Structure 1
Amino acid sequence: MTDPLLILAVGVVIVVGGIIGLKLHPFLALLLGAFVVALMTPASAIEQFAITKGTAPVAAAALAKKNIGERIATEFGVTCGKIGILIAMAAIIGKCMLESGAAERIIRSMLRITGVERAPIAFLISSFFIGIPVFFDTVIFLMMPLAKAMTLRIGKNYLLLVLCIMAGAAMANSLVPPAPGPLFLVGEMHIPIGMMMIGGTIVGLMTITSGYFFALWANKKWPTPLRDAMDARLEDIKAIAAKEDKQLPGLGVSLLPVLIPLVFICADTALTAMATPGVPFTDSPFLLKLISLIKFFGDKNIAVVSGGIAALLVLARQKKGSKEGLTPFVQAALMSGGGIILITAAGGAFGGMLQQTGISARIADMTKDYQMALIPMAFFIAAVVRTAQGSATVALITASGILSGMASNASLGFHPLYLGLAIGCGSKLVPWMNDAGFWIVCKLSNLTEQEALKTISPLLVVMGLTGLVVIMIAAQLFPLV
């Protein structure tokens, strides 16, 4: 009864069955799943998991002795600490951009350049390149208000736009440094970072092309309307869409809530990538202060708060003279964001309890002697770990740890780059209820759980498998050794 695979199966049945079968609220189903998984996990497995993560034996033993409620609350809090401020401020940015007309102004400007038919492609490519330096969830927060405004402008294709945003951001996040997962991977497998950036971009563009065709098919098969939401009522967005150009804020001002966090996060990422440990960038006091300022505002929480302040200022300027003030808009945004935070944190708690079962080590042990070709094996290991515990980053770390020795093998018939890319593509499969990113996309887009499972999950499966095929062909034709 203590096999991690059995515990995983029970957790899946409880969460998926609770949400789809019993119509439980996702927050309750995820907490119930986390409780049952934690209850079934023996103390020895928890202690071993902590030790493999680098925890001191005394601290690992203390973790194993903690009661179930405390362990669940800890993982809940860790997830909340990672995404709480981001989601709250992103909800404010989205609400302010919609209410002020900033999102409408950006959409009108984009349509003048791309035209209506090519707008989804613009969303796809934009989210991919924004997703290279910026965290996946931040891309979703910044672009979802634009998808809602665009849908009202063109009157169709809401699901297509949502899937395009998801496709671009997800693939960049696991394939192209300086995203955190690929950065760890290149260090572990000794792949030159420049080579990974070029290879990841090429494979990423091919995978999002297949994702785009899947999104077109899904949009036709399951056309999904833009629904009313607490922070984005359709009648309000329609009223803004009917305004004349002169009633909307200028394009430069409208872009500030998005550009401020984007520019600071990108600048901080670039500085981190160029830094040499223990060696200062410059001797100039002025430049050192400037770098410190960029590093301060480049923190993702501070960057998004800065974007939120800019969004509030744009809204205040547009509502000048209005008696209602900004409080109703902020309150509506926070009520919506609060629900997303709770569900996402509960998903993090469920995923955390699954990790403590030792599921990653169990999968590693099952595959260590698997005599399959290395590239598909790398893909397979990452995919199974991702599906089992919900984190693409954990899948990257686990798979690269298993295969790092093979990557440095002199008799390898192709460059280790291909193993790294295969791991990145495999880490996309399969997102479901134990994945915090799944809930962020699901709730920000107002898709139901069933809609998300039949569109978002297969979208990433299609792109991941496309990447595997492309990588295997490239390794055969261009081994780079």
Structure 2
Amino acid sequence: MQDPFFILLVGMLIVVGGILAGKLNPFIALLLAALVVAWMTPAAAIVEFALSKGQSDANAIALATTPIGERIAGAFGSTVGKIGILIAMAAIIGKSMLMSGAAERIVRSILGLTGEKNAPLAFLSGSFFLGIPVFFDTVFYLMIPLAKAMAMRLKESYLLLVLCITAGAAMANSLVPPTPGPLFLIAEMNIPIGMMMVGGFLVGLVTTAAGYLFAVWTNKRNQIPLRDSLDAPLKEIQSLADKDSTQLPSLGFSLSPILVPLLLITGSATISTFWDQAAGGTVGVIFDGIHFLGEKNMALILGALAALLTLFLQQDKERAGMKGAVQAALTSGGVIILITAAGGAFGAMLQQTGISIRIESMTEGFQIALIPLAFFITAIVRTAQGSATVAMITASGILSGMSTAGLEYHQLYLGLSIACGSKLIPWMNDSGFWIVCKMSNLTEKEALKTFSPLLTIMGIVGLITILVAAKLFPLV
């Protein structure tokens, strides 16, 4: 039997069963699942998938006849190309910020403004606003060392802080341009960018509020401690927490590893969205420079250099401290890169089964209740193949082909519904799941009990909010 849904089921059983029941290392389980899925996928399905992505007949046939090992390796390498440098640099930033005391300085400043009681809300709102111009994984990389330092002070709130970061960044990343998913969506659905930004922001406020309530609830029922790890030893964090403020770096130096990549990425995204790309003269040179430095890999490299400089100055120029920080960061980061890339390979093999095409054919011509339809199409594609951006692109392609003439509400609501549907259901075929799981030191079971339901609940709350808003404020 070669139905894509059956292949998906087999892949899910291998991954979930292998990790939770068989105690396999996630890297091995994901590669094994990718191998089985690729083996079960017929050549005709691979050709159809490649053609649907705009490839030529020759390239589609070449992909279908490529050996399974090469296809998996290609997808594995593609994922490493997307996230490898980012994770490595993020690991260096996190380790350096912890060792230098920069994370401790920022935490003390946050507590001075909000108090301990409101610290999780500060993480929630901060990650939401950071998630508008910056990719979700980048926001998580930058904020997780702060969560670890803050958790040392708040004691039983580590899970709450992790979920606050993911809740804010994940919703902003799918709802508010200029991140790739929303940008493609507004182009495909003919939605004005300003309207999408305002609508996404308002829906995002409601969904993140729901996410916060769930995070508080699940934190009380799942007391997950801040665990010892190579990149963040508890003794090291505690010793920094005990230091006098005069022994910590200044707030400016402490914030530089976060602000440098944030400002560069935001500046590049803002220029791409709102200004003419063909600007000449001095303005053109400045814009080109910002684009060059604001590319996410380059921006994170500069952030890592800023973090290492802070550590260098703080440790009285002791090179041994810097060398140890980099070694520990890359050791832990390398494991995360391998597992995340294996998850990306598994997701890519699922996509080649043609499951997105199958979903599209099943919904063809079905125009009743378009808002929930858009939501559930996106949710099914996201759950099946792992990528929120791919799910948004697939669903917007399906819905844009349907007639929206005569709708009683603006197509903005269809776009927002697609964005919310892309949050359901993150699990082990999603590279983001592994980034959150491994960088926060949660077990796979803990992530499935907390992180996955968090995004699912926020997505459903978003759907309800959109249905109510479309009825009360149709905008037509």
TM-score (norm 2): 0.99
Contact 2:404–2:411, Cα closer than 8 Å, also in 1: no
Structure 2 distance, partners of 1:275, 1:188, is 21
The correspondence for 2:450, drawn from 424, 449, 455, is 455
Give the match for residue 230 of structure 2: 230
Change in CA separation of 1:221 and 1:286 when aligned onto 2, cut-off 3 Å: same
Give the match for residue 415 of structure 1: 410
Give the match for residue 174 of structure 1: 174
SS of 1:262 mapped into structure 2: helix
* 1:404-431 CA-partner distances (Å, limit 9, x unpaired): 133x532111100000000000010000
* 1:449-479 CA-partner distances (Å, limit 9, x unpaired): 0000000000011100000000000000111
Q: What aligned pairs does 1:186-205 form with structure 2 within 5 A after superposition?
A: 186-205=186-205
Gaps of 5+ in 2: none
The alpha-carbon deviation at position 391 of structure 1 amounts to 0.4
The correspondence for 2:331, drawn from 312, 335, 359, is 335
Structure 2 distance, partners of 1:323, 1:6, is 55
Structure 1 distance, partners of 2:320, 2:287, is 40
Letter in 1 for 2:422: S
Give the match for residue 364 of structure 1: 360
Give the match for residue 437 of structure 1: 432
Structure 1 distance, partners of 2:340, 2:319, is 35
Give the match for residue 375 of structure 2: 379
Structure 1 distance, partners of 2:154, 2:108, is 10
Q: What aligned pairs does 1:53-452 form with structure 2 within 5 A after superposition?
A: 53-276=53-276, 280-281=278-279, 283=280, 285-320=281-316, 322=318, 324-370=320-366, 372-406=368-402, 409-452=404-447
Letter in 1 for 2:82: K
The alpha-carbon deviation at position 371 of structure 1 amounts to 5.3
Structure 1 distance, partners of 2:326, 2:368, is 54
* 1:208-247 CA-partner distances (Å, limit 9, x unpaired): 0000000000000001100011110000110011000000
Structure 1 distance, partners of 2:200, 2:323, is 44
Letter in 2 for 1:123: F
Structure 2 distance, partners of 1:466, 1:256, is 36
Change in CA separation of 1:450 and 1:112 when aligned onto 2, cut-off 3 Å: same
Structure 1 distance, partners of 2:392, 2:111, is 38
The alpha-carbon deviation at position 25 of structure 1 amounts to 0.3
Letter in 2 for 1:155: K
Contact 2:374–2:399, Cα closer than 8 Å, also in 1: yes
SS of 1:326 mapped into structure 2: helix
Runs of 4+ in 1 over 6 A off after TM superposition: none
Give the match for residue 23 of structure 2: 23
* Structure 1 stretch displaced more, 140-149 or 366-375: 366-375
SS of 2:474 mapped into structure 1: coil
Structure 2 distance, partners of 1:184, 1:17, is 36
Structure 2 distance, partners of 1:321, 1:345, is 36
Gaps of 5+ in 1: none
TM-score (norm 1): 0.98
Change in CA separation of 1:228 and 1:62 when aligned onto 2, cut-off 3 Å: same
Structure 2 distance, partners of 1:415, 1:355, is 31
* 1:103-153 CA-partner distances (Å, limit 9, x unpaired): 000000010001101000010011011001001110000000000000012
Give the match for residue 36 of structure 1: 36
Structure 2 distance, partners of 1:325, 1:377, is 55
* 1:59-93 CA-partner distances (Å, limit 9, x unpaired): 11101000000000000000000000000000000
* 1:354-375 CA-partner distances (Å, limit 9, x unpaired): 0000000111111224454110
Count of aligned pairs = 476
Structure 2 distance, partners of 1:323, 1:355, is 46
SS of 1:413 mapped into structure 2: coil
* Structure 1 stretch displaced more, 416-425 or 362-371: 362-371
SS of 1:324 mapped into structure 2: helix
Letter in 2 for 1:380: F
Structure 2 distance, partners of 1:260, 1:329, is 20
The alpha-carbon deviation at position 262 of structure 1 amounts to 0.2
Structure 1 distance, partners of 2:347, 2:390, is 11
The alpha-carbon deviation at position 276 of structure 1 amounts to 4.0
Structure 2 distance, partners of 1:249, 1:27, is 38
Structure 2 distance, partners of 1:37, 1:321, is 52
What fraction of aligned residue pairs are identical, expressed as a percent? 64
Structure 2 distance, partners of 1:372, 1:380, is 13
Contact 2:261–2:300, Cα closer than 8 Å, also in 1: yes
Change in CA separation of 1:294 and 1:371 when aligned onto 2, cut-off 3 Å: closer
The alpha-carbon deviation at position 302 of structure 1 amounts to 0.2
Structure 2 distance, partners of 1:154, 1:216, is 14
Structure 1 distance, partners of 2:404, 2:7, is 36
Change in CA separation of 1:413 and 1:109 when aligned onto 2, cut-off 3 Å: same
Structure 2 distance, partners of 1:36, 1:65, is 16
Contact 2:381–2:391, Cα closer than 8 Å, also in 1: yes
C-alpha RMSD over aligned residues:
1.0
Structure 1 distance, partners of 2:143, 2:184, is 27
Change in CA separation of 1:313 and 1:417 when aligned onto 2, cut-off 3 Å: same
